[in-house]
Amino acid sequence: MLAVLFIALCILTGYVVSTAILPVGRSVTDSFKGEPTGLSQLFYRLPLWYVTGTIVLTWLTYILACAFSDQKNPLFLANTICMATAFAVVVFGLIILLRKKKIPFLSEFGKLSHNEIIAIALIASVIGYLLYLTFHVRNGQLYTGGSVFSDFTPHLSMIRSFSKMNNFPTIYTVAAGDDVRYHFLFEFLVGNLEYLGMRIDVAFNVSSALSLLSMFGLLYTLAVRVTGRKLAGGLTVLFAAFRSSWSFFSFLAGFMDYSSMLTGIAENDDFVGLTANEDWGLWNLNVYLNQRHFAFSICVMLIAILIFVPALQETFDEMKGKWSVKNFFTVDLFSRKGFAVRDIASPIFAGLLLGASAFFNGAVLVGTFVILFVMAVVSMRRFEYLICAVIALGLSLVQSSVFVKGSVVSTSVRVGFLSGSSTVFGMGEYLFLLLGVLPFVLVGAFIKGDSCARWMMVSAGCLIALSFFVSLTPDIAVNHKYIMLAVMVLDVYAAQFIAGLFSDGRALVRITAFLTCIFMTATGLYDFATILKRNTEDRAVVTDMSNKIMTFINENCDSTDTFLTANYFLNGSEGSYVILSGASMYLAWQYYGWSAGYDTSTRDKVVANIYDAQDPELLRQMVNATGIDYIVVSAANRESEDYELNEEMIQNVYPVAFSLGEGDDRFTIYKTKDVN
């Protein structure tokens, strides 16, 4: 299958690029302090190859498709050239590496311990099951899980716009215009895999599974290299998967007796929480299920941190016993050693990778910038950080200028995040309720940790501070991603501290460590159980993969056609098939456009004015002014409270292109394109 070949070429291209062209991370088996860890390089290398190669080939395919956008089948030409080029590069690169005796290290598989093999198998099984549970096709029906269907509306729409509608140049299909303000390249990757023959659920799930496995592998690598202990690596992955919070314990405290508590635990299928929007599943594994591109971009962040932590560690090792704030500002800040470049390839590689990931997930790029900036403040080899930053920022600005009309961000001061408070006490209370026992563990980790660990914790803390004071999008809730990124880094040091407690010879200390782990993961584990409950097939949004609406749109329309519709979201109605066709909608559910920075209030007025138009000439003027090519009238329009549908007027002015059903449930598409 061509889609499988594409994924294989991604991994092999990543191997060649990161080993022969811009070699990075030559040794990852030792800790950052130079201590042997017994860590297999597979945990770092395989994710590095997958992420690097996927970014390279996805971008190359996309650019070529845009170049051939005037052709009938741009993806065919783009994939042909891209895969042929990748194959040539891989063959040439492997020849060079074989001559240098740098071949893939099969011996690294032998370094995997039995516990690691069991853990990998367990994690892969859980990830695969969750991805299948939330999105799969069976007997020609597409099942989209109850905890993800809403967020999947823009994602599936964009995926199908590439695989079925040739969305080149690209627009945001749920708020059609002349630009795309939402990061879309992961959706393009999935759409391209579907185009190459992989069924949409398989394409989405395989890409997501590889991303999640890569994320946990890189996080494990970071933790082991920071702490020198595999136990800390395992705990870090555990804490990242199952969040720390008081929410579950507060939920239990609400029951009057043991019997009602057991019944409540078994019957509840809502995400528990003490803070605003926690019932969305805003902080748990569900985020990775409904925001599939998030894990892929986190991999880029972790690779960048792994590249730059050695410079920070080296700084504190050399300054051990003599580091002070006074010395730093009077001597170290301006020293030649502080700006020396020891490894030019790695910062160039990191900069290219970060910059190229901007439209995979912009929030992760911003979060990575913050962490690396704070690291660079006290780190030696600052010029390496600068090289990385200049390349990454330059690439992201180029992409923004191409894809976005106007500013890519709408920066504003928004004190308090979702705490609803602008006071330090209010924000502190919010974090206490949200993070549970984690802050107390971090206090111990900060006291016990060395200077490098403390500064890394400060770096992550600055990212949390950003979340509480600045918003880069209209929707402040988006800042939750910054807190999740920061907590993921902080989990490394929490795990280091708890692993130290487990190493203590005293039984009471070990029991304390065990109980702390329970408190750290209880809410996340209950969230996991809730995800399972909310994604059974009887609660899924079910759509027919061979629906006539999709068939008509895909056979008669293209990506330049704009559909006027009700404010659709994926809910199993006829509107779902417009979404799954990949059609460009003038305005779907308003949140998708608003949160991406589109003026949805003005569009709402346009939608209402067209649907309840009383004058045929005015109707034509409005339709022509907005570039609408098709008007959809369905039950959702007839039931709208925002306007009184005047379908007779639309019917008198424009011909029917497609109709399905009868009466109030009739679904009709009127063609305005090329109609005077």
Q: 148-184: per-residue pLDDT in tens? A: 999 999 999 999 999 999 999 999 999 998 899 999 9
Could you tell me if 601 and 486 lie in one domain? no
Same domain membership, residue 553 and residue 527 = no
Instruction: Provide the token pair at 385.
Output: 């950080």
Residues 360, 472, single domain; the answer is: yes
Question: What's residue 107's pLDDT?
Answer: 67
Instruction: Using 70 as the pLDDT threshold, list the residues of the chain that sit under it.
Output: 25-27, 101-107, 321-335, 408-409, 676
340, 363: one domain: yes
Residue among 431, 419, 299, 278 nearest 14 (CA) = 299
Are 237 and 263 part of one and the same domain? yes
In a domain, 116, yes or no: no
Boundary residue ending a domain (510, 537, 564): 537
Task: Tell me the pLDDT tens digit for each residue of 500-513.
Answer: 999 998 999 999 99
Q: Would 254 be classed as within a structural domain? A: yes
Per-residue pLDDT tens digits for 343-373: 899 999 999 999 999 999 999 999 999 999 9
> Does residue 510 belong to any structural domain of this protein?
yes
Do 555 and 443 sit in the same domain of this protein?
no
Domain's final residue, options 489, 506, 537:
537
Looking at residue 333, its pLDDT comes to 61
Using CA atoms, how far apart are residues 224 and 496, in angstroms rounded to an integer? 9
The reply to whether 583 and 525 lie within a common domain is no
pTM equals 0.96
Instruction: Judge if 523 and 610 occupy the same domain.
Output: no
Query: Which residue matches tokens 């107390």?
Result: 440
CA nearest to 142, candidates 132, 129, 130, 128: 132
What sign for the dihedral angle of Cα 354, 360, 366, 371?
negative
What is the model's pLDDT at position 330?
Answer: 53
Contact 609, 599 (CB under 8 A): no
Residues 444 and 316 both lie in one domain: yes
The secondary structure of residue 564, as a DSSP letter, is E
Distance CA 650, CA 564 (A): 12
Same domain, 241 and 310: yes
Residue 457 lies in a domain: yes
Identify which of 207, 185, 201 has the alpha carbon closest to the alpha carbon of residue 133.
Answer: 201
Domains in the chain, number: 2
Domain range for 659 is 546-671
Q: Are 332 and 360 in the same domain?
A: yes
Domain end point (choices 498, 520, 537)? 537
Domain contains 170: no
Question: Are 303 and 365 part of one and the same domain?
Answer: yes
What pLDDT was estimated at residue 353?
97
Contacts 24+ apart (CB under 8 A), 585-589: 585/157, 585/173, 585/174, 585/175, 585/176, 586/175, 586/176, 586/562, 586/626, 586/628, 587/174, 587/175, 588/153, 588/154, 588/157, 588/174, 588/175, 589/150, 589/153, 589/174
The verdict on residue 210 lying in a domain is no
Contact of 117 with 40, CB cutoff 8 Å? no
pLDDT of residue 243: 97
Q: Would 67 be classed as within a structural domain?
A: no
C-alpha dihedral, 304 to 310 to 315 to 318, nearest 10°: 180
Nearest to 494 by CA among 449, 528, 458, 541: 449
Q: Is residue 62 part of a domain?
A: no
Position 274 scores a pLDDT of 92
